[in-house]
Structure 1
Amino acid sequence: MQAVTDTVKQVIDTANQATQQLAALPQQELRFGELMLKGGVVMIPIAILAVLALVIFFERYFTIRKASKNENNLMQQVRSSIISGQLDSAVAICRNNNSPLGRMLQKGLLRIGRPIKDIEGAIENIGKLEVSKLEKNIGILGIVAGIAPMFGFLGTIAGVIKIFYDISLTDNISMGVISGGLYVKMVTSAAGLFVGLIAYVGYHVLNMMVDRVILKLETDAIEFIDLLEEPSK
């Protein structure tokens, strides 16, 4: 019985000593900025890609949002001018509107007097040009979404190679050496994946916004053509 008591006492003393030793160790906080810097040279292109993706996303976002604003008032003004026979007034309204729809309607108004097919073709061509303007640089986000994770993996693989090369020179295979270097090199993979994810989401968000603008432009173009055909029915 005394032996069991002594064993329990020794275990408790050992646990207390271990707790005191752990408490005596200096507490090191893992700061985000320092961790990013430890990622190495590969973090530079990843950071450039991140800035590029953010700049393109916000620039395109506000441009597409401006193009997708409700143009019901424009259509009503154009309809009233056409019905009253004031084509010059309708052209001026579209010119002053300075929007994709305004430019499409203006081109159609300038073709009035020609066959409907010619007017439709002119509007369609302007529509394609306006859509290509809206889609400008969006593809770069898709490229960033693909190559940012590759840069991250490249940095991690290069770091792992260096770790094992150092081990081969020093013949030190302790877990501290391996894990201490490996967690730093994994930073590049995490950063690359994060940037790639942001770019991927931004790419698809912008494409969905463009699709909505295209649908709206097509709907308004059809309404405009129907308006021109009304007198001939």
Structure 2
Amino acid sequence: MVYTTFIILATPAADTDMSLWGMVVKGGWLMIPIFILSIIAIYIACERYWLLRKTGINDATFMQKIREYIQNNNTKAVLAECEAEGSPLAKTIAKGITMQGEIPSEIRQAMEDTANYEVALLERGLPTLATCAGVAPMIGFLGTVVGMVQAFYDMAMAGSNIDITLLSRGIYTAMITTVAGLIVGIIGQLAYNFLVARIDKIVLTIEHHSSELIDLLHLKK
């Protein structure tokens, strides 16, 4: 009798194994927008990381060449080097070189305007990434509410014949959507903070070398 009871209790446990796809399906239709947000967030994070990874790598070597060209009064070489480099720093330096001869405040303002434009290009897509990181958990919590409503509805319809299997649909929707939303939100927020920190570092580098260029142009006079 004990052996028979063990088999009866163990059999349902074997049926509880579920694949990842099965869990996603159990999460309901709210998993669709969460999945879409995850794709958008991953794409933006990877694309911006690849762009920022290439930005600023050669800044030290680039500025060394610029110093030598300015000391030799070779303006054409400076502009050619800036065009070949094509980085935000290079475009900012090129703007300063074209403004040489003007008063330092005007040169600085022109370089700041150029730097702000280049930084805005680097930040393109980050607001969308932040939106994905914020909205995904909210959709997950919405799934929790929808799932609990479904569970209580099933309980009300069952009357006195309440069975845990009747509640499974609502419980799966409540738990799985919350977990999925939080995962997307955490990954998106980490990626956003990393990219913002990387851009801030680039901005500081541009500001430092812009001031250095203005000093070099002033000393050359």
Tell me the number of residue pairs that the alignment of Structure 1 and Structure 2 aligns: 219
**Rounded Cα–Cα distance in structure 1 between residues aligned with 2:207 and 2:198:** 14
Runs (5+) with no aligned partner, structure 2: none
**Rounded Cα–Cα distance in structure 2 between residues aligned with 1:152 and 1:26:** 28
Aligned to 1:44: 32
Aligned to 1:194: 183
Q: Which letter maps to 1:202? A: A
Q: Is the 8 A contact 2:129 2:192 kept in 1?
A: yes
**Rounded Cα–Cα distance in structure 2 between residues aligned with 1:145 and 1:26:** 36
Aligned to 1:8: none
**Rounded Cα–Cα distance in structure 1 between residues aligned with 2:77 and 2:32:** 55
**Rounded Cα–Cα distance in structure 1 between residues aligned with 2:116 and 2:12:** 66
Equivalent position SS for 1:41: coil
Deviations 1:60-80 (A, max 9, x none): 111122223131121111111
Aligned to 1:101: 89
Residue 81 of structure 1, CA deviation: 1.2
Equivalent position SS for 1:69: coil
Alignment of 1:4-153 (within 5 A): 14=2, 16-25=3-12, 27-28=14-15, 29-153=17-141
Q: Is the 8 A contact 1:49 1:148 kept in 2?
A: yes
**Rounded Cα–Cα distance in structure 2 between residues aligned with 1:150 and 1:25:** 34
Aligned to 1:156: 144
Q: Which letter maps to 1:117? A: S
Aligned to 1:185: 174
Distance 1:24 1:159, change over 3 A: closer
TM-score by length of 2: 0.92
- In our comparison, the structure showing a higher alpha carbon Rg is 1
Residue 180 of structure 1, CA deviation: 6.0
**Rounded Cα–Cα distance in structure 2 between residues aligned with 1:127 and 1:164:** 57
**Rounded Cα–Cα distance in structure 2 between residues aligned with 1:59 and 1:153:** 29
The two structures, once aligned, show a CA RMSD in angstroms of 1.8
Runs (5+) with no aligned partner, structure 1: 1-12
Aligned to 1:6: none
Percent of aligned positions that are identical: 35
Residue 20 of structure 1, CA deviation: 3.3
The farther-off stretch of 65-74 and 193-202 is: 65-74
Q: Is the 8 A contact 1:35 1:184 kept in 2?
A: no
Aligned to 1:230: 219
Equivalent position SS for 2:150: helix
Residue 176 of structure 1, CA deviation: 4.0
Residue 208 of structure 1, CA deviation: 0.6
Quick one: which of 199, 211, 216 aligns to 1:210? 199
Distance 1:180 1:162, change over 3 A: closer
